[in-house]
Structure 1
Amino acid sequence: MGGCGQRLTPRRYTDRACHFAHVPDSDHPAVCRRRALGPGSADHLYIKRQLRAWLADQDIPASAAIPRDADGPRLDEVLLEPQGRGCLRVLLDYNASASLASADTGLLVLGEDITADPAELLRAGYVHRIRCVPDGTARRVQLGTEHHDGTDWFELAECELAHDGLTTPTTRKIRRLRTDHRPLGLLPRDTQAASVTVHNALPRAAEQPADDRAEAITALRTALNDGAGLTDLIHGRDRTEAATAPARPPRSTRCCAPRTTPCCA
């Protein structure tokens, strides 16, 4: 447990706690590089075993490995190579996150405490997460989907590795919304012109109460986060702009006096 990489032997006692110890070697004294001793210190081993079993349940053969440095195995990364699915790369803490910038990263799954790349969250709408939770005397692996409103966690049985990537109930919803609705910034030119015409036709004779402005802004923010359709987004934008626009008099109140008389408007 913990994976320091050295050979171990069990030490059994009746007068103190039983434990494992390094096998004595006079020619090569064992130097244990294991630093973590908490309940999560062996999470990389649980993740390696349970993810491989999870893939096998989907009839996906996969190899799994814990990368090694010159001084021993890394406890912050797990690499899986599912057949026909590319590379699945699990990064568990900030020491491994430095490699996020590498060109060939594969499908990334981040530990619970690693800060995600905001650009990736904006581009895809979600980031994959992983964690281990207590399960009796062992640990159970869960997969998570971080989105703009937080992170949803799922048991492995609720998720799958499909040809289009790692899939959870939340990623299915986000992908469906992004497929069914065109993002507002990608409107065709003629549609943009039509929306501007509707926007200019809105009445702005009276300023809306503060409660109405707050309600309109909240409704628009909710529509954006939920991936609402184009019509709903345009309606929400127009409502928000109408509610927050400064008051101005209607056209009918402008002065129509003769030119010799100073205008009262």
Structure 2
Amino acid sequence: MLAALDARLTDARPRTLRAAHRPFVEFLCFGIKEARACLFAGLFFLAVFCVPRAGLGGLPRYDVLLVLALAIQAWMLAARLETWDEVKAIGLFHAVGFVLEVFKTSVGSWSYPDPGYTKLLGVPLFSGFMYAAVGSYIIQAWRLFDLRIRHHPPHWMAALIALLIYANFFTHHYIADYRWYLAACALGLYARTTVVFRPLDRDRRMPLLLAFMLIGFFIWLAENLGTFMGVWRYPNQLGAWSAVHVSKWSAWSLLVIMSFTIVANLKHVKARVHVPD
């Protein structure tokens, strides 16, 4: 069923629509494609919402979430909704995210208060899938929207800023936080970059920086859901839940830039990235 849906969603044959109807039809198709691109993230966070804190069948919640995340990933691969190359990229997201989680919990930025058999260095292994969900979304959206990137900066510059963004998540605990300097560099680097996407049968354009900010905002909303459900907690949420500070939106937006850079270097999408001479 999903393969048939994907075939229809990626069918770019011209449609005959009235001018007054086209914006609404394209917006509807855009929403359907977005929901489809969020398949892994949606199923994963549905599991986060539905699995009780006590776990299931004597298995702690964190371990149940790991099993479900692996099952969803295996199903998507078996159903050919993802390729092996894409799974490898998602595995890289998992590893990068898990290393960050281990460091952040060690310095007290947040914690995972519940027990679990699959906790390593105080961090449950399922946590890396929260970062993998971002990578899965970008990969799926790239295919469904037939994304093409215009005026992308040189790949070595994009890779350098991505590495510096990742490093700053660690180093700001020991030296100054250079987040806003890095954001300014990213702003200059991607100022001319646009993403060309196809909601239905016509190409539309959006500044890539705006896409980064929008994705970061929705991840921030998902993070609020995760802390509300008690999957992890910030120090100020240990007594009673409160909304995650809005400054985390900027951190997530920067993380999206790093994630996008990884995806942009996949062999089968790199051909759609235009780097000016």
TM bracket (short chain)? under 0.3
Higher normalized helix content (fraction of residues)? 2
Higher normalized strand content (fraction of residues)? 1
Q: TM-score, normalised by structure 1?
A: 0.20
Q: TM-score, normalised by structure 2?
A: 0.19
- Greater RCO between the two (CA within 8 Å, min separation 6)? 2
